[in-house]
Structure 1
Amino acid sequence: MGYELVVDFLPWSRAVSEAKNDASQYAGYFPEYYSDAVADEFVFSDPMGSGPLGLVENKNNPVTWQTLEDLQPLVVGVVQDYVNTDEFDARVAQGKQKVQAVTSDATNIKKVAGNRVPVAIIDANVFAYLLKSDPSLKPFSEHVQMNEKILENKKLYICFKNNDFGKEIAQIFNEGLKKVDVQAIMKQYQ
């Protein structure tokens, strides 16, 4: 679309904060799952892919569950400020689900491998990528796996600043997105 994309990798909470700050150099952040709370503050792009959100578990202590109520006795690892599923996040807000928040998915993988939490929420694609690319996770990779049941197949978006510039860039991004085969690109990287 004629623009040069520059991506910086920041801790999640900082990325969101920088994208909110009108004085910062950032036009937005990604990837994000849709939520009404975030939509009040940002302009969402059209979906740019999807990911199966599920639970990483210790191979020696797999968890059997059918509904989120089945997870209530467990402490679930989450990443601070991540949107999960509407139902899960509502249960946390209502005090019906105990969680331990950390700053990264890699930290949660290590905690599950070490039996410090029984499960943690993670996108299965992120889980596979981290195990392949993060050398610090190599000692833990044989101890963890994705639970068979997923929470939800979540669409992925870019969140742009909720101002005239952000709205303009979102429109340009959405036009460009129509010109590519998102599913083919996702398959190439999976």
Structure 2
Amino acid sequence: MKKILIISLLFLLSPLCRADTLYLTSLDWPPYSGKKLTEQGASIAVAKAAFASMGHELVVEFYPWSRAVKLASDDSKYAGYFPEYHYESDEFVFSEPMGQGPLGLVQRKDKPVSWSKVSDLTQYRLGVVQDYINTEELDALIASGDISAQAVVSDDKNVQKVAAGRIDAAVIDANVLNYLLTNEPSLKGLADKVEMNSTLLVNKELHIAFENTHEGKKWRDIFNEGLKKIDVQAIMAKHL
């Protein structure tokens, strides 16, 4: 009996079983994340459900994107940030996919962009959001100067620039565009002027980026196990 009691106590005190509160950073990126959204958005609802299934609580704090990423690497309070696309990194390790987002181009309805491969976009002026990861090929062409691109701080600014004809198109997630055109007051009336291009860049998988530390990897593994216990698609669909 004594041995059983000791084993039980050790089990309850193990890092993987003790109930803990985890802190992550995010941004206002509806419908995936946002402090004013129902359940704080689709991606956060998935993350909270996954951690809850493992007996842990997730607290998400919101910042502008660049600061959210920086805090996740510099501040010991936070174990990571999300939602993020996978990219090569020494600072972060990535979770299993926690949903998908259709990444493409928003364009003017009266001046559609014609392209079939990314190199075709060299003839256009594009908008991107500062510090967002797009696709490896597109970002390389922008970095080399082969594609002319202007960076702004948020997706809504790019939609406004496209509608005004200041750029030809902008990189955006289709779900984000749909949400903005339906809910963002500053974009009221622009649904008649802009639309998604029919060709997607890619259907991007969404992840949590955890710090590349022992603690970060521990939380990544816990989260990945929790994902197996929930219906990710059903939770995403509820919010999208």
Q: TM-score scaled by structure 1?
A: 0.93
Match of 1:61? Answer: 111
Count how many residue pairs are aligned between Structure 1 and Structure 2: 187
User: Which letter does structure 2 place at the counterpart of 1:20?
Assistant: S
For residues 123 and 44 of structure 1, what CA distance do their matches in structure 2 show?
Answer: 20
SS at match of 1:188: helix
Match of 2:216? Answer: 166
Match of 1:7? Answer: 60
Match of 1:30? Answer: 82
User: Which letter does structure 1 place at the counterpart of 2:79?
Assistant: A
Deviations 1:146-190 (A, max 9, x none): 000000111110101111221111111111111112122222222
User: Which letter does structure 2 place at the counterpart of 1:142?
Assistant: D
User: Is 1:133 matched up with 2:186?
Assistant: no
SS at match of 1:70: helix
**1:66-77 equivalences in 2 (<5 Å):** 66-77=116-127
Match of 2:193? Answer: 143
Deviations 1:37-87 (A, max 9, x none): xx3210101100111110001112111111112110211100111111111
Which gives a bigger RCO, structure 1 or 2 (Cα 8 Å, sep 6+)?
1
Deviations 1:103-125 (A, max 9, x none): 11111111111111110001111
SS at match of 1:107: helix
For residues 204 and 159 of structure 2, what CA distance do their matches in structure 1 show?
Answer: 20
Q: TM-score scaled by structure 2?
A: 0.74
Deviations 1:85-108 (A, max 9, x none): 111111112221111001111111
Shift of 1:133: 2.7
Q: Provide the aligned C-alpha RMSD in A.
A: 1.3
Do the aligned partners of 1:32 and 1:159 also contact (CA within 8 Å) in 2?
A: yes
Do the aligned partners of 1:27 and 1:160 also contact (CA within 8 Å) in 2?
A: yes
Match of 1:20? Answer: 73
For residues 49 and 25 of structure 1, what CA distance do their matches in structure 2 show?
Answer: 26
Larger-Rg structure: 2
> Which consecutive unaligned segments of at least 5 residues does structure 2 have?
1-53
